[in-house]
Amino acid sequence: MSYIEMQHNYKRYQMGDTEILANNDVSFAVEKGELAIILGPSGAGKSTVLNILGGMDKNSDGQVLIDGKNIANYTASNASPTRTSGTTIGCQKSRLPKTS
């Protein structure tokens, strides 16, 4: 079993009468200790995938497995242990304020 798995993941947003499909049947697996890089053009859903993996957003359909636990149906209260599990997400641009 892989450490991180997304299986047939979909993320849909509703904007008025229009449905936006941010992730369309995304599936991949990452082994423990493996380095993974998510590449794609602007608007491809990279940040959406990372937000779902980090427990900051929920997917619409599919499974999101981290260390064998399906976090797709977690609520804010039971997602906290997943957020502190040792999985790190590195972002392309720092959002932290400058300290000097």
What is the residue-level pLDDT of the chain in tens, covering all 100 positions?
899 999 999 999 999 999 999 999 999 999 999 998 889 898 889 989 988 988 888 999 999 999 888 988 887 666 655 555 555 566 656 566 666 6
CA–centroid distance for 57 within its chain: 7
What does residue 80 show for φ and ψ, rounded to 5 degrees? -55, -45
pTM here? 0.76
